[in-house]
C-alpha cells in the first residue's frame, strides 16, 4: 500500500496559528481524503535548554505538549529540531 502524500507547513508558535491553518487545510480538502496535512513546530537546542525562552521561529518548549494537542486528529503533528551544534546531535 502506497503512503498518502502530505503537505506540511512548519513554524507554528501559537494555538491561534495552528487553528487558523487547520481551518484552511480542512476547507480545502487536506483533512485526510487525498492528502494529509502536516503542521510543524520548530524546536531548538536553545528552547530545550531554557523551556521558558522563545525564539523568532520557535515557541517556548513548555508549550509544546499543548501546541501538539491542538493539531487536529486528521493531521500529522511534527516537531522539527534545529541545533547549531551538529556534533552533539545525538546527545
What confidence tens digit (pLDDT) does each residue in 51-74 have?
999 888 899 999 999 999 999 998
3 state DSSP class of 78: strand
User: Is position 1 within any domain?
Assistant: no
- Sheet holding 76-82: strands in order across? 6-10, 36-44, 76-82
Predicted confidence at residue 86, as pLDDT, reads 79
User: Is position 89 within any domain?
Assistant: no
Distance, in Å, from the CA atom of 2 to the CA atom of 16, rounded to the nearest integer, reads 33
User: Is position 15 within any domain?
Assistant: yes
User: Is position 91 within any domain?
Assistant: no
Predicted confidence at residue 69, as pLDDT, reads 95
Indicate if the pLDDT at residue 79 is higher than 70: yes
Total-model pTM: 0.83
User: Is position 59 within any domain?
Assistant: yes
- Cell numbers describing residue 24: 484552511
Predicted confidence at residue 32, as pLDDT, reads 63
Domain enclosing residue 56, as ranges = 6-81
- Cell numbers describing residue 8: 506540511
User: Is position 57 within any domain?
Assistant: yes
Distance, in Å, from the CA atom of 28 to the CA atom of 9, rounded to the nearest integer, reads 15
Indicate if the pLDDT at residue 22 is higher than 70: yes
In the predicted model, what is the mean pLDDT of the chain? 89
Query: How many Å is the maximal CA-CA distance in the chain?
Result: 43
As for how many domains the chain has, the answer is 1
Amino acid at each position: 500500500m502506497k503512503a498518502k502524500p502530505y503537505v506540511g507547513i512548519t513554524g507554528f508558535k501559537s494555538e491561534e496559528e495552528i487553528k487558523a491553518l487547520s481551518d484552511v487545510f480542512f476547507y480545502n480538502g487536506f483533512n485526510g481524503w487525498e492528502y494529509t496535512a502536516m503542521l510543524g513546530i520548530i524546536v531548538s537546542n536553545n528552547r530545550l535548554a531554557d523551556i521558558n525562552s522563545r525564539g523568532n521561529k520557535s515557541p517556548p518548549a513548555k508549550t509544546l505538549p499543548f501546541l501538539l494537542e491542538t493539531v487536529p486528529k486528521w493531521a500529522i503533528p511534527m516537531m522539527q529540531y534545529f541545533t547549531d551544534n551538529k556534533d552533539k546531535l545525538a546527545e
